[in-house]
Each structure stands twice: as C-alpha cells, then as structure tokens.
Copies of this chain bind each other. A is one copy, B any other.
C-alpha cells in the first residue's frame, strides 16, 4: 500500500459514510464498516471526526446541502415560481425510488432525543424547508401562499416515503400532476 497524501480525506470519509448510512441507516453501520469501505486506517477517521456523532452531524449537513442544490436546480429549471415548484416535485420524484426515503427524515427518526445534535440539525433543516417552500409560494399568485407551500411540503414528504417503499409504480407516480393541480387550484390564473 503506497502512502497517499490525502488533502480531501474528510470528503472521502463522508462519501463512504454517506453511502453506507443511506443504504443501511446510521445505527446499523459501524465505524469499522466505514473504515473497511474506505480502505484507510482508523486513526485518520478519528482525526477528522471526533466520534460517530460528529460524523453523523457532518453527514446531515451534507444532506441539507444536497437538498439546497436540488432546490436551486428546480429554480433554475423553470422561470415562473409555479413551474419551479413543479420542477422541485419532479426532482424529488426522480430520486426517491430504490432508496430508503429521505436521509434527513430517517436519521431524525433514528435520534429521537431532542438534545442530540443529529436531532437538532435535521429539525432545523425541516423548519428551513418549510420556510423555503412558503417563500417560493409567496412568489406565485396564490392568495394563501403559506397554505400552498405547506401543501407542497406535504406532497414532498409523502413522495419520499411512498416512493421509497412502493417505487415508481406506487402512489408517487403521478405526484407531478398532483402538484400541478394543487398549484393551479391555489393560484389565480394569469390574465391574458
């Protein structure tokens, strides 16, 4: 084994950890497993992360960044806020099948203790998402944008759960049409 200088050790560790956490859950994955997957030494991991809790928190932060990228992608994929909401649903729908659902939601459920940092980080994420969706809904012509934002959030939460369990042939199949109908019903048609 040649000695590899690794400036990106942290990222490589997080790559391996995230993959295993996503597939099996945090509690089901041991540090040993992550190290074996990496092919690196134990010391390196414990030098980058104080312990498993720190690793989990970093994993969750990475997940929130992934979400922010998904949101940004949806914003870039359409020009009107109505279509941007639809694009967001489409993006979530595309990535749920074959997964265990939302990583943040699953990890939140794995750490029910409200004092645990993993619980707090994921909770803050979901509060932030709710605000993001309400903000986006406020840019539509909806007379009750908060209501629209909340309804979209409910669809997204349902999409993660349903798509993971039942796959692309489940109830999640037509979530995009569902969201479109909801947005149409909640917004004022543009004058022409």
Residues in chain A within 8 A of chain B (CB atoms): 23-25, 27-28, 100-102, 105-106, 108-110, 112, 122-123, 126-127, 130, 147, 149-151, 153-162, 164-166, 170-175, 178, 181-182, 185
Contact = CB atoms under 8 A, between A and B. Distances in A.
A154 B165 contact: no
A185 B155 CA distance: 16
A160 B156 CA distance: 12
Given A28-B110, A185-B181, A126 B165 contact: yes
A5 B98 CA distance: 47
B27 A130 contact: no
B27 A165 contact: no
A154 B153 contact: no
A154 B126 contact: no
A182 B182 CA distance: 8
Contacts of A164: 109
A85 to B, nearest CB: 14
A126 B172 CA distance: 13
8 contacts: A25-B112, A100-B112, A126-B170, A149-B171, A151-B178, A153-B158, A154-B155, A161-B161
A63 to B, nearest CB: 14
